[in-house]
Structure 1
Amino acid sequence: MEPTTLTTDRLLLRPFEAKDVDAVHAACQDPEILRWIPVPEPYGREDAEEFVLRAAPGGWREDTMYSFGAFTKSGVLVGSMGLVRLAGLGGLERQAELGFWTAKEQRGRGYTVEAGRAVSDWAFTALGVERLEWVAEVGNEGSRAVAQRLGFVMEGIQRARIVQRGIRRDARIAALLPTDWERTMETPYLPARTD
């Protein structure tokens, strides 16, 4: 896919560029990012270069992940927001997972929800995603709060879903459907009976 840029009231979401390496490196020194996000530890400058210069652009080129750097309009890095685990976007599955991290100094300002809303909207409208998933290790309450503010419906806990630092960990999973935002889906949806 051709890389895309999105804007919100306060943010610019764009593909990462070489000039972002230092900001990504600095953000990923935060112990909370290292605790919850599967990034190398310690996180060196070469790790930031690998992500910004190779992995993120490769994801766009190979349609394996669409990573946006989220920046304030003045150019300050807020975090990373993107779609991973893309499944059948050109076919029947039409699923993806929303993944993100937020720089420590930018938390608590609503930026991550704002960015998540923009990327989710783009996924539904431009890509035709019909099921957007959120997955995070049990205990990652910050990520869970963002997902809930976006309208994700918690579906439960999956045992041993995430491998982090060589250890399998339980994860919460939630989903957001276009119908949750009062939009239609191309594929008819028949919810299970709850009686």
Structure 2
Amino acid sequence: MPFLISPVLTAGTLAGRPQPVLPADGGLVLRPWRAGDAPAVYEVFQDPVMHQWHARSADSVAEAGDWIREWRQAWEGEREAHWAVADADRGVLLGRVALRELRLEDGTAEVAYWTVPAGRGRGVAARAATRLTRWALGEIGFHRLELLHAVRNEASCRVATRTGFALEGTKRSAILQPDGWHDMHLHARVGPGTLPPS
């Protein structure tokens, strides 16, 4: 049975090119993950704030290294796209930004991010998410990006708002965290030129 619409993005849109390095405002750079980032990732996942909003923790530097290998393989398989967010001058890791739940044929993905404790309150997540969004919608041609966060995570809600992700609603009891089920805010941005014909 033939499809009546063409895919928004085709296979190879990401994997057919090297993962780019994306300079961001305020002296940040989004770069592919390196094996040498594993100790810093392990350290971040010892932070109680990370445990509050994430379902995973890292038991060792080796486990964090396995995650980094998975993140790099996810680009090649066009399942996800993960970047380290670093200080452009010193190379110090400040966070992560990612596109998850990639559906190239629909042109959709979910934006996710975290920051190291020293990077919080400095606009790191907002600047990184803004740069990633500009690349995904403007340069690659994604149609819709979603951003989900726990309703009680007010800092993440501020990041979503500052990066132009409109609040669309609440997904009730949507994510299980260590302290129980959380309602999630659903924010989204839609790319330019996406209105249906009149």
Q: TM-score per shorter chain, which class? A: 0.7 to 0.9
Q: Which residue of 1 aligns with 2:41?
A: 24
**Cα shift at 1:43:** 4.0
Match status 1:126 vs 2:143: no
**Cα shift at 1:170:** 1.6
**Cα shift at 1:46:** 2.8
Whole-angstrom CA distance in 1 between matches of 2:177 and 2:60: 18
Q: What do you get for the CA RMSD once the two structures are aligned?
A: 1.9
Give CA deviations for 1:112-147 in whole Å, capped at 9, x if unaligned: 111111100111023211111001112011111100
Q: Which runs of 5+ in 1 are unaligned?
A: 191-195
Q: Which residue of 2 aligns with 1:65?
A: 80
**Cα shift at 1:23:** 1.0
| Structure 2 residue matching 1:126: 3-state secondary structure | helix
User: Is the 2:71–2:81 Cα contact (8 Å) retained in structure 1?
Assistant: yes
User: Is the 2:129–2:163 Cα contact (8 Å) retained in structure 1?
Assistant: yes
User: Is the 2:148–2:187 Cα contact (8 Å) retained in structure 1?
Assistant: yes
Whole-angstrom CA distance in 2 between matches of 1:166 and 1:146: 23
User: Is the 1:37–1:101 Cα contact (8 Å) retained in structure 2?
Assistant: no
2:185 to 165, 172, 178: 172
Q: Which runs of 5+ in 2 are unaligned?
A: 1-14
RCO higher in 1 or 2 (8 Å CA, sep ≥ 6)?
Answer: 2
Whole-angstrom CA distance in 2 between matches of 1:174 and 1:48: 29
Q: Which residue of 2 aligns with 1:11?
A: 28
2:109 to 81, 92, 96: 96
With structure 1 as the length reference, what TM-score do the two structures score?
A: 0.85
CA 1:117–1:62: 2 relative to 1, 3 Å = same
Q: Which residue of 2 aligns with 1:137?
A: 150
Alignment coverage as a number of residue pairs: 180
The one-letter code matched in structure 2 to 1:156 is G
The one-letter code matched in structure 1 to 2:71 is A
Percent identity over the alignment is: 31
Match status 1:184 vs 2:197: no
With structure 2 as the length reference, what TM-score do the two structures score?
A: 0.84
Q: Which residue of 1 aligns with 2:101?
A: 85
**Cα shift at 1:167:** 4.2
Whole-angstrom CA distance in 2 between matches of 1:43 and 1:143: 25
Q: Which runs of 4+ in 1 moved over 6 A?
A: none
Whole-angstrom CA distance in 2 between matches of 1:103 and 1:189: 41
| Structure 2 residue matching 1:46: 3-state secondary structure | helix
Whole-angstrom CA distance in 1 between matches of 2:135 and 2:116: 23
| Structure 1 residue matching 2:118: 3-state secondary structure | helix
